[in-house]
């Protein structure tokens, strides 16, 4: 068995003295692990940093084996995010959440979005809103997608300002008014008004929305919580 | 069925040596044989040294360094600059800086880096004690000498957050071209860091 693919490094764990087990998010093979010989060497370490875009080749005798991987750097997103605490927290959070994807199940659309967000990590006016969209895409890929296109109660698609925590569907201002205390806020930049610039409050509302569904529908059943780095994103955006 | 070639004591010795970093079962067997061959010159002194190490080496309550005295020799040394604390991940990093002899300061060993995958959170690191030390009136600068990895720098940012509000300068190691490094062979991350932290000459 052998394949070559492009990928994003999600995690690296030491294995013995010199090797490492890497978890990659590949374009065509989904989340995939493999053993990298010499993965802890001085030469390999800069490549095997979380968030880096790499070319990977995987080989194994049988498909179900862990297999061996060789990895070459395409673009080092980790190094460019290291100076910025918010971007680094965003990158770490994204890699931690991407590990929720099932192994060896391709998610090419989410892969494209991930690469797109990583490409904007050096622009703090853009990436936080993109990361909210990325989390929405992740929920979609995990089978818990939100329907933000029209009001769940009336079917109209204007004045959508709430999301029902039960159904995950958008609710208009008038239909949601009686239940507004229980509704989640839907920031404008996630509706059809895509040209609107996302403010810090919009981003915070976006993260609260995706965080609620990630926590309730994906993480809580596994007994896990949201990554600690995700909470740091907003702390640093504030400054 | 394979025959036993040595008593349980030798097997135990080999097993324990094989658990040391850098040694596998084969090299552990070699090391055990070497020790047993040079019983008086190696095995006995090594066993004495290990016994003393177990009895006397302790973690410094101030900085987290390992030494036979508490507080450690570095914390007690009056010739060291008391205004500067160099924060490192592990005792090995402290030893590396001391070997280089490039900084005459006191240290603070965090005991690792933040790693959610391994279940290492802020509560598992010596960050609270660092804040207490940094709040002391004689400390003027905290130098974060942490690894240039995602985990190391995430830890550095976390430590920086914890030091907000204290009257200290927080600095970190420069990143860029290593001595003897050729640009052609450097990874793009190192090159980007070098360009970003360029300085006027």
Residue A50 has its nearest CB partner, among B21, B148, B150, at B150
Looking at the structure, tell me whether residues A26 and A132 fall in a common domain: no
Residue A94 sits in which domain range?
81-148+186-238
Looking at the structure, tell me whether residues A109 and A227 fall in a common domain: yes
Q: Maximum distance among all alpha carbons in chain B?
A: 72
Pick the residue of B90, B148, B150 with the most A CBs within 10 A to test the interface with A by mutation: B150
Beta-carbon separation of B158 and A227 below 8 A: no
- The interface predicted TM-score (ipTM) is 0.86
Q: Which residues are CB-contacts of A93 (< 8 A; sequence separation ≥ 6)?
A: A131, A227, A229, A230, A233
Looking at the structure, tell me whether residues A222 and A196 fall in a common domain: yes
A162 falls within a domain: no
List of chain A residues whose C-beta atoms are within 8 Å of the C-beta of residue B175: 82
Q: What is the pLDDT of residues B53-68, one digit of tens each?
A: 999 999 999 999 999 9
| CATH code of residue A39 | 2.40.50.140
Looking at the structure, tell me whether residues A130 and A200 fall in a common domain: yes
Do A85 and A124 meet the contact criterion of CB atoms below 8 Å apart?
no
Among A55, A75, A95, identify where a domain stops.
Answer: A75
Do you know the residue count of chain B? 201
List of chain A residues whose C-beta atoms are within 8 Å of the C-beta of residue B158: 232
Output the tens digit of pLDDT for each of chain A's 239 residues. 999 999 999 999 999 888 999 999 999 999 999 999 999 998 899 899 999 999 999 999 999 999 999 999 999 999 889 989 999 999 999 999 999 999 999 999 999 999 999 999 999 989 999 999 999 999 999 999 999 988 887 887 778 899 999 999 999 988 888 888 999 999 988 886 655 678 888 999 999 999 999 999 999 999 999 998 999 998 887 65
Looking at the structure, tell me whether residues A88 and A45 fall in a common domain: no
Task: Identify which of A88, A92, A97, A95 has the alpha carbon closest to the alpha carbon of residue A124.
Answer: A88
A204 to A184, A216, A232, B1, B169: CA distances (angstroms): 12, 18, 12, 66, 31
How many domains, in total, are found in chain A?
2
The structure tokens listed for B92 are 């090995």
Among A24, A45, A75, identify where a domain stops.
Answer: A75
Looking at the structure, tell me whether residues A91 and A114 fall in a common domain: yes
Looking at the structure, tell me whether residues A144 and A209 fall in a common domain: yes
The helix (run of H) or strand (run of E) holding residue A24 is: strand A19-26
Looking at the structure, tell me whether residues A132 and A51 fall in a common domain: no
pLDDT for A154: 82
Among A12, A42, A75, identify where a domain stops.
Answer: A75
Looking at the structure, tell me whether residues A190 and A106 fall in a common domain: yes
Beta-carbon separation of B188 and A79 below 8 A: yes
Beta-carbon separation of A89 and B188 below 8 A: no
Record the pTM: 0.87
Looking at the structure, tell me whether residues A86 and A71 fall in a common domain: no
Distance from C-alpha of A66 to C-alpha of A60, rounded to nearest angstrom: 7
A55 falls within a domain: yes
Output the tens digit of pLDDT for each of chain B's 201 residues. 566 677 889 999 999 999 998 888 899 999 999 999 999 999 999 999 999 999 999 999 999 999 999 999 999 999 999 999 999 999 999 999 999 999 999 999 999 999 888 888 899 999 999 999 999 889 999 999 999 999 999 999 999 999 999 999 999 999 889 888 889 988 888 888 889 888 898
In this prediction, what percent of chain B has a pLDDT beyond 90?
75
Rounded to the nearest angstrom, the minimum Cα separation between A50 and chain B is 7
Looking at the structure, tell me whether residues A130 and A215 fall in a common domain: yes
Return the number of other C-beta atoms located less than 10 Å from residue B79's C-beta: 5
């Amino acid at each position: 068995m052998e394949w070559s693919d492009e990928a994003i490094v999600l995690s690296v764990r030491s294995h013995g003295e010199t090797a490492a087990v890497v978890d990659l998010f590949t374009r065509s093979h989904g989340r995939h692990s493999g053993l990298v010989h010499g993965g802890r060497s001085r030469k390999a370490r800069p490549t095997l940093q979380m968030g880096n875009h790499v070319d990977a080749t995987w080989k194994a005798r049988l498909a179900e084996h862990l297999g061996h991987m060789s990895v070459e750097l395409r673009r080092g997103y980790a190094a460019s995010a290291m100076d910025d605490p918010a971007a680094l927290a965003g990158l770490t959070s994204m890699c931690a959440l991407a590990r929720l994807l099932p192994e060896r199940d391709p998610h090419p659309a989410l892969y494209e979005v991930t690469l797109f967000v990583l490409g904007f990590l050096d622009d703090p006016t853009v990436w936080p809103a993109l990361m909210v969209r990325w989390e929405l895409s992740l929920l979609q890929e995990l089978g818990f997608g939100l329907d933000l296109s029209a009001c769940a109660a009336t079917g109209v698609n204007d004045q959508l300002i709430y999301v029902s925590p039960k159904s995950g569907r958008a609710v208009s201002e008038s239909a949601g008014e009686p239940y507004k205390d229980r509704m989640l806020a839907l920031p404008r930049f996630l509706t059809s008004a895509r040209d609107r610039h996302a403010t810090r409050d919009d981003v915070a509302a976006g993260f609260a929305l995706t965080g609620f569904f990630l926590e309730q529908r994906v993480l809580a059943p596994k007994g896990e919580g949201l990554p600690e780095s995700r909470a740091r994103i907003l702390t640093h955006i504030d400054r | 069925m394979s025959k036993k070639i040595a008593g349980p004591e030798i097997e135990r010795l080999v097993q324990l040596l094989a658990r040391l970093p850098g040694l596998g079962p084969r090299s552990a067997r070699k090391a055990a044989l070497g020790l047993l061959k040079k019983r008086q010159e190696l095995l006995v002194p090594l066993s004495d040294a290990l016994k003393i190490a177990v009895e006397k080496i302790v973690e410094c309550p101030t900085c987290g360094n390992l030494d036979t005295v508490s507080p450690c020799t570095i914390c007690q040394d009056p010739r060291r600059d008391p205004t500067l604390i160099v924060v490192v991940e592990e005792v090995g990093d402290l030893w590396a800086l001391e070997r280089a002899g490039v900084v005459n300061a006191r240290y603070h060993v965090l005991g690792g880096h933040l790693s959610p995958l391994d279940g290492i959170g802020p509560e598992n690191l010596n960050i609270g004690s660092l804040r207490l030390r940094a709040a002391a009136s004689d400390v003027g600068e905290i130098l974060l000498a942490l690894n240039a990895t995602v985990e190391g720098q995430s830890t550095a940012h976390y430590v920086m957050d914890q030091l907000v509000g204290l009257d200290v300068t927080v600095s970190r190691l420069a990143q860029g071209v290593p001595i003897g490094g050729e640009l052609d062979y450097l990874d793009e991350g190192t090159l980007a860091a070098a360009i970003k932290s360029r300085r006027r000459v």
